[in-house]
Amino acid sequence: MSMGPFHSPEMSSASGGEPTNDQILLVSGAFTASRELAKLLRTAGGFSVEICPRVGDAIGEAIRSCPTVVLLDAREGIGDVLGVVGEFQRTAEVGAVPCVILASSATESIREEAFLRGVDDFVVEPVSTVELTARLKTHSTAYLNIVRRNRSITAYESLQSELRHAHRALDDARLRLSAREGDPGEEEWRERVSALMQVGIELNQIHDFHTLMDRILSEAQHLLKADAGTIFLREGDFLRFAFFLNETLAQRTASGQTPHVSSFRLPITDRSVAGWVCLTGQPLHVADCYAISPEAPYRFDSSFDQLLGYRTKSMIAMPLKNQSGRILGVVEVINPVGENGSSRPNFSEADIRLLEHFANIATVALERARLSDSVILRMIRMAEIRDPAETGRHVERVAGYSAVLFEEWARRRGLEGPAFERQRDRLRSAAKLHDIGKIGVPDTILKKPGRLTAEEFELVKKHAEIGADLFLHDPSDFDDAAREVVLLHHERWDGTGYPGLDDGGEHRGRRGEETPLFARIVGLADVFDALSSSRCYKDSWSEEKVLELIRSESERHFDPELVDILLERIAEIRSVRESLPDLPRP
């Protein structure tokens, strides 16, 4: 096969450099083409390249060769290329290694599906050697930086070692102890510990704080086979009731989802289970919350049960404690469930130890996500200083609405698992920065109380391009999503939006699905929240009026399917709004 599409006059200037740690695993069924491509990558990019000619051997070869990038050459077909991506996502040893698909124009149709499945990059020939090697180098460097420099990963690997040690110790202990009712069998226990180690890797790949906390709670509930769970986050001298899952209550709702419960705060004292755990830093196992001894230093508040019509019985409360001993919050799992869905009388000692190890792993991921989130929040505060409408609550609501819309869009297409969660994570983070470009718009325009002139509005429209340019240099997977959202969320379904695109010399707005999915979602979420909120130049609209306008703009301003989803999931959209009300302005 000719390598014409990869020819570049710059190729010789990139050769002869110092050896690097960049390791490519090239997976392809076309061995001749693969050898030519491998030679090109070694010469032009200085990569070390291993060729895997059998797709079925890709995972094993990746585990053996420890690549920093997996390149799937699908130009002449590679079987189920999306299935290969899924296999990498699900395999603990190589799940974090970036995957790049190289396709021909004939196979470009799988592009959107590939990104939804979790592929890191998608390159279509013809492409210059400089661009191909630069993109591979970017992914490889990002992966190496994580491995070498991210302290969270180092701490995580230490915890994985601790888990393996604990696994062996618990196995030995279980052989010495007689079996007790409710304890998992040997095979089940091994499966649960193996699942815990896999979950640890997946948690470390989630960047959005809210997505991570949802996943932590659902995995804790699943690992311990519990009916319900809660997470309290520490905020100064208080614990905020932040995340809640309950299978029994979910079954009572039409949507099958846990009903929304308003957030509240508890003082960190020894008069509540969560408060005592946070205060002492010690885990707590309560066999029956309604039978706590009067002499115990903590109490169980049954008002929450009474409000929801629920009966909390057995509970494990575990502190989320970081490496320096600081407590970030408390996770509780409630009411163990048997294999057939019936209740178990109590959690076992094995359950307690499993949750303790899980809490350690979750805290490492939580610290890393908070670091990433703090960078995003600082950028949002910069925009908030410039634009009074761009509040932290506004961007958090837009991110929350966007997640609800994407979840239903994905559900309709059967998308689930780690790839779905990864895309939702990217979307939530990108949505928070949708109007970051307003930092480049003059204050006199952003803070003008009245209607803008045509000239002033043209200046405001520049914020999309200003913001997108912030994510141009050394882009990561998140940067690509953020740039897409920032640049294109003001495009309209009928092509009358901005900033538009050049199409054969004609400047026009993007039409329909020319606008990427994430930008279409954020565009709808942003308008819903802007209309529902008061501004210095307008009062808030009623929900009925907002929905009436959105219906009328279906197939004009908005993607009609996304409008249908918003109307279908309006209860969840409303819950997001109620949980993040605007703060009083000073």
Residue 487's CATH number: 1.10.3210.10
Expressed in percent and rounded to 5, the helix, strand and coil fractions of the chain are: 55, 15, 35
Strand order in the sheet with 48-52: 48-52, 23-27, 69-73, 99-103, 121-124
Whether 428 and 575 map to the same domain: the answer is: yes
List Cα–Cα distances, 66 to 27, 69, 205, 394, 418, in angstroms.
14, 9, 18, 43, 21
Domain boundary at 97, 119, 149, which?
A: 149
Whether 98 and 57 map to the same domain: the answer is: yes
Whether 135 and 162 map to the same domain: the answer is: no
The number of domains in the chain is 3
Mean pLDDT is lowest, of 285-294, 314-323, 495-504, for 495-504
Q: What was the pLDDT predicted at 543?
A: 93
How far is it, in rounded angstroms, from Cα 111 to Cα 320?
39
How far is it, in rounded angstroms, from Cα 111 to Cα 3?
22
Whether 224 and 162 map to the same domain: the answer is: yes
pLDDT band at 393 (very low <50, low <70, confident <90, very high): confident
Mean pLDDT is lowest, of 322-331, 397-406, 485-494, for 322-331
How far is it, in rounded angstroms, from Cα 545 to Cα 484?
30
Among 116-125, 377-386, 467-476, 538-547, name the most confident range. 538-547
- The reply to whether 280 falls in a domain is yes
Q: Tell me which residue of 348, 367, 349, 347 sits closest to 359, measured CA to CA.
A: 367
The answer to whether the CB of 571 falls within 8 A of the CB of 399 is no
The answer to whether the CB of 301 falls within 8 A of the CB of 286 is no
Q: What was the pLDDT predicted at 168?
A: 47
Mean pLDDT is lowest, of 466-480, 516-530, 550-564, for 466-480
Q: Tell me which residue of 79, 77, 76, 115 sits closest to 99, measured CA to CA.
A: 115
* 379 has a pLDDT exceeding 50: yes
Helix axes 129-149, 151-176, angle to 10 degrees: 60
pLDDT band at 317 (very low <50, low <70, confident <90, very high): very high
Global confidence as pTM: 0.52
- Where would I find the H helices in 204-254? 209-223, 247-250
The predicted model gives 60-89 an average pLDDT of: 80
Q: What are phi and psi of 519, to 5 degrees?
A: -70, -35
SS3 assignment, position 341: coil
Residue 261's CATH number: 3.30.450.40
- The reply to whether 375 falls in a domain is no
Whether 356 and 392 map to the same domain: the answer is: no
Q: Hey, what are 246's tokens?
A: 């309950």
Strands 23-27 and 284-286: unpaired
- The reply to whether 584 falls in a domain is no
Whether 176 and 289 map to the same domain: the answer is: yes
The full DSSP string for 501-515 is EEETTEEE--BGGGS
Q: What was the pLDDT predicted at 193?
A: 61
Whether 257 and 350 map to the same domain: the answer is: yes
The predicted model gives 381-401 an average pLDDT of: 73
- The reply to whether 88 falls in a domain is yes
Residue 72's CATH number: 3.40.50.2300
Whether 473 and 559 map to the same domain: the answer is: yes
* Number of alpha carbons in the 13 Å side-chain half-sphere of residue 10: 11
* 33 has a pLDDT exceeding 90: no
Whether 132 and 12 map to the same domain: the answer is: yes
Q: What percent of the chain is modeled with pLDDT above 70?
A: 75
* 388 has a pLDDT exceeding 70: no
* 555 has a pLDDT exceeding 90: yes
List Cα–Cα distances, 150 to 113, 138, 200, 441, in angstroms.
30, 17, 15, 35
- The reply to whether 302 falls in a domain is yes
List Cα–Cα distances, 445 to 308, 388, 456, 463, in angstroms.
48, 11, 7, 12
- The reply to whether 216 falls in a domain is yes
The answer to whether the CB of 6 falls within 8 A of the CB of 134 is no
Residue 501 or residue 250, greater confidence: 250
Whether 514 and 476 map to the same domain: the answer is: yes
Whether 334 and 409 map to the same domain: the answer is: no
Whether 94 and 222 map to the same domain: the answer is: no
Residue 315 or residue 581, greater confidence: 315
The predicted model gives 346-365 an average pLDDT of: 81
Q: Tell me which residue of 231, 249, 265 sits closest to 363, measured CA to CA.
A: 231
Average predicted confidence (pLDDT) for the chain: 78
Domain boundary at 109, 134, 149, which?
A: 149
For 324-342, the pLDDT digits (tens) are 778 888 999 999 988 776 7
For 121-158, the pLDDT digits (tens) are 888 888 888 888 888 988 888 887 766 544 444 444 44
Q: Tell me which residue of 391, 493, 386, 473 sits closest to 432, measured CA to CA.
A: 391
Q: What was the pLDDT predicted at 151?
A: 41
pLDDT band at 79 (very low <50, low <70, confident <90, very high): low
Task: Give the domain extent around 574.
Answer: 387-579
* Number of alpha carbons in the 13 Å side-chain half-sphere of residue 377: 11
- The reply to whether 374 falls in a domain is no
- The reply to whether 424 falls in a domain is yes
The predicted model gives 367-386 an average pLDDT of: 64
Q: What percent of the chain is modeled with pLDDT above 90?
A: 21
Domain boundary at 340, 368, 396, which?
A: 368
